[in-house]
Amino acid sequence: MKTYDNIYIDGKWVKPSGQGTIEVVSPYSQEVIGTVPKGNDDDVNAAVAAAKAAFPAWAATSVEERAVYIEKLGEALAAREADIGSTISQEMGMPVTFARMIQAGLAINITKTYPDILRNYKFDEQLGTTTVAKEPIGVCSFITPWNYPLYLIIAKVMPALAAGCTMVLKPSSDTPLNAYIFAEIVEEVGLPAGVFNMLTGSGSVVGEALSGHPDVEMVSITGSTEAGARVGANAAQTIKRVHQELGGKSANIILDDVEDFAGAVSAGVQGVMMNCGQTCAALTRMLVPESRKEEAYAVATAVCNGATLGDPSEEGMHLGPVSSKKQQGVVLDYINKGIAEGAKLLAGGPDFPEGLNEKGAFVKPTAFGDVTNDMVIAQEEIFGPVICILPYKDEAEAIKIANDSEFGLSGAVWSGDEDRAVRVARQIRTGQVAVNGGGFNPFAPFGGYKKSGNGRELGEFGMVDYLEIKAINRPGAPSPLAAAE
């Protein structure tokens, strides 16, 4: 068991002012695998003060200095890849093989993109006799979730460091142990004191204090829509910038001319089951032609029934439990709602999978057919291994169904004609769309429309929210009135 008594403030491990501890529970065994302290308002004030004091010097560092620090962080993360993968597997249930590849791998690879992005970024641009200067916004606070815990920390920390900002991190109380590994790495590489600070605690105490603190210039949250709305409302009191990466209920449109229909359906179902559906951008609504729905149902049934579930500590390409008993209950409630709403249960269901540790928070990979978009399971984010298949009559109806959602985070289109797929993709109101299985690009912007949030992460776009824009006007600029004459 990993026991942490301190929090990381101003380059030191210090005793928190807050009392009590948070227990980290394995979703597989239900045993306590670690404890971290509960921070309070005084701890938030100390961390923000450290970040504020460190900001002027860090903002004044050269691009090259910041790039070298980020390179060192990337190297140190890579050196602890196995430790990171094992820790996250224990905390949230992703099998260790996948956790090394995805949870640790994403964090490492995203970090490695930022030195070159930083070195090539134009912080000053000329607009006639005006210099447009892009300057770090200041102290930032980060509130991160449990589903991809370290990757989503990295997606905020690295662009903020690159921009010249200082920061305070509050990781998820369900998965804080990987954040301690990262704080140890920050200390190891010698990042200047106060640039990065971390404390653990509840959202209702630490999260509230960080999102409303008057010395925090920007708050970034990845989490539920409800949590994002609360952070936004709290931040509005001090008129700070807010970045929100929130929920999703993304549509995967398989058009009638796709060449490998079964392959497209199979890829879509497998993509949802990755991380047991606990992915905000998961393509959980699959739209298929009415005339081919039975084919889709057969493929989805085979994929779900063919999935293997097991102990996340064992090597292999199986699925683990969902993140907690609480999350298991949420997902099972949705499955029961789908059945009650009249959706056709193709595979899975609410029963506990046979032959598994009954303490584990397992959910059978589940597929529903004959889903209509007014059903709860088609509109609300389930965040579990559940896919809904919705038949459509024609392309126009498919686009209408895809856009009939309060979310707009992700999407996909499959077609035998790539130009047609792109044309349909342009009509979907969502932050990113994969065409014919197009893969994840770490340099491309990630974020959503509508209730999926505000702002973008990753790549050069990920630095934009961490920069203020200043116009420095020199003499000699023509008067607009003179130009009009």
Q: How many other CB atoms sit within 10 Å of the CB of residue 464?
A: 17
The conformation of residue 20, written as its DSSP 8-state character, comes to S
Q: How many other CB atoms sit within 10 Å of the CB of residue 414?
A: 26
d(CA 43, CA 144): 18
Catalytic residue of the set 91, 208, 245, 395? 245
What ranges in 274-417 are assigned the alpha helix state H? 293-306, 325-341, 376-379, 395-403
Q: How many other CB atoms sit within 10 Å of the CB of residue 461?
A: 17
Instruction: Report the candidate in 98, 113, 19 with the shortest Cα–Cα distance to residue 67.
Output: 113
d(CA 473, CA 269): 55
d(CA 162, CA 115): 8
Catalytic residue of the set 280, 304, 381, 460? 280
d(CA 360, CA 354): 12
Supply angle C-alpha 40, 87, 331, rounded to 5.
Answer: 80
d(CA 143, CA 136): 19
- The reply to whether 280 belongs to the active site is yes
Instruction: Report the candidate in 252, 221, 241, 276 with the shortest Cα–Cα distance to residue 452.
Output: 221
d(CA 71, CA 161): 12
Alpha-carbon distances, residue 275 vs 16, 20, 409 (angstroms): 33, 31, 18
Enumerate the active-site residues: 245, 280
